């Protein structure tokens, strides 16, 4: 499958077959890495890594993934370039596009990554914006496939802030790939209606079922996976007390897991975790192997995205 030159801004832009291709490529690259085999598909390629927001997994994944495939990553923090301050995003994009072969962006406004893609002329990859976090979803799906051997037909529950970038992106990914998706959250934190309608269309094609509920008992019944994320996203710290109050009933704990009716339910978290808030320490530690597989898989899936869209031998 040829994804050369494509941007990776949101999973809305990719078909189920293309997403499956990226997951299969990631699994192959992961297996190769475990055998000590790395590639050179990015040899001679220079990649700009723009970070408005700090990061552990995204930065490390892009850096290692790039080096493993023979490329050169250049970290550009918020104090290193003038993105959107002394220089417009459009002009920065045109400069970087002349010097780099690919650009990763992790920041606040989604429109900034869209401008980079429009004006740079090189593949641009979204390392996280306020609206979407598509590379995380690929890592999550690779982890689900490793755990269950499939995606289609799984019952997946996202518990917490359903309208943050993770809630949005998981709903898009699940509805495209035939995974039954439940948003378990207070109604005020459900995704925007416009995005829900779009995902209902994807779900009709894939056979996925979408559910939105405030009821914990109804939400987690039959869950194969319960997924959670921090209650307060970066940039929303002033809403901390309000979020803690309304999300407390949606904490992933032993009591919630007992309501699934399954012994095989796994818990996932995109990290970093605030243990004692969205997830209890005991449940986190019992699922730590899965959660840190998920963290490791950021690297393999991000590498697959770079290889597929920019590499010479994908």
**Active-site positions?**
106, 133, 136, 229, 270, 298
92 carries a ligand binding annotation? no
270 annotated ligand binder: yes
3-state secondary structure of 183: strand
With contact defined as beta carbons under 8 Å apart, do 304 and 138 qualify? yes
82 annotated among ligand-binding-site residues: yes
SS3 per-residue string spanning 51-119 = ECCCCCHHHHHHHHHHHHCCCEEEEEECCCCCECCCECHHHHHHHHHHHCCEEEEECCCHHHHHHHHHH
- Is 251 known to sit in a ligand binding site? no
Spell out where the chain has E strands.
46-51, 72-77, 102-106, 124-128, 155-159, 180-184, 210-213, 225-228, 266-269
Q: Is 313 known as a binding-site position?
A: no
For residue 133, say whether it is annotated as part of any ligand binding site: yes
Q: Which residue has the tokens 């994009």?
A: 93
Spatial neighbors of 272 by CB under 8 A, at least 6 apart, are: 56, 230
Question: Tokens in use for 172?
Answer: 């898009």
**211 known ligand binder:** no
Q: Is 134 annotated as a binding residue?
A: yes
Joined tokens for residue 36: 């000590």
Q: Is 234 part of any known ligand binding site? A: yes
- Evaluate whether 225 touches 219 at the Cβ level (below 8 Å): no
Other Cβ atoms closer than 10 A to 4: 12
Task: Tell me whether residue 6 is annotated as binding.
Answer: no
Is 58 annotated among the ligand-binding residues?
A: yes
d(CA 234, CA 172): 21
Tell me: is residue 57 an annotated ligand-binding position.
yes
Binding site, annotated residues for carbamoyl phosphate: 55-58, 82, 106, 133-136, 270-271, 298
Which residues sit in the known binding site for L-ornithine?
Answer: 165, 229, 233-234
- Residues making up the binding site: 55-58, 82, 106, 133-136, 165, 229, 233-234, 270-271, 298
């Amino acid at each position: 499958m040829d994804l050369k030159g494509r941007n990776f801004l949101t999973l809305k832009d990719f078909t189920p077959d293309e997403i499956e291709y990226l997951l299969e490529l990631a699994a192959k690259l992961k297996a190769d890495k475990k055998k000590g085999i790395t590639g050179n598909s990015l040899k001679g390629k220079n990649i700009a890594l723009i970070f408005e927001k700090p990061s552990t997994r995204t930065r490390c994944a892009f850096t290692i993934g790039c080096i493993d495939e023979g490329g050169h990553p250049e970290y550009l923090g918020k104090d290193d370039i003038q993105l959107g301050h002394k220089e417009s995003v459009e002009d920065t994009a045109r400069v970087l596009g002349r010097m780099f072969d690919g650009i990763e962006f992790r920041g606040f406004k989604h429109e900034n990554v869209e401008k980079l893609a429009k004006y740079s002329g090189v593949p641009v990859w979204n390392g996280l914006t306020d609206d979407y976090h598509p590379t995380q979803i690929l890592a999550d799906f690779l982890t689900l496939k490793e755990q269950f051997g499939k995606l289609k037909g799984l019952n997946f529950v996202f518990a917490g802030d359903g309208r943050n970038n993770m809630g949005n992106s998981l709903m898009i990914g699940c509805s495209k790939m035939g995974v039954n998706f439940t948003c378990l959250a207070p109604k005020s934190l459900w995704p925007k209606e416009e995005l829900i309608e779009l995902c209902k269309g994807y779900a009709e094609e894939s056979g996925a079922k979408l559910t939105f509920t405030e009821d914990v008992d109804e939400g987690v019944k039959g869950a194969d996976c319960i997924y959670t994320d921090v209650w307060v996203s970066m940039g929303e710290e002033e809403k901390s007390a309000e979020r803690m109050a309304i999300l407390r009933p949606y904490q992933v704990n032993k009591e919630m897991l007992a309501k699934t009716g399954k012994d095989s339910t796994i818990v996932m978290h995109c990290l970093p975790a605030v243990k004692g808030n969205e997830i209890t320490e005991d449940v986190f530690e019992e699922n730590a192997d899965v959660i840190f597989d998920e963290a490791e898989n950021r690297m393999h899936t991000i590498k697959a995205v770079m290889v597929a869209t920019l590499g010479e031998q994908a």
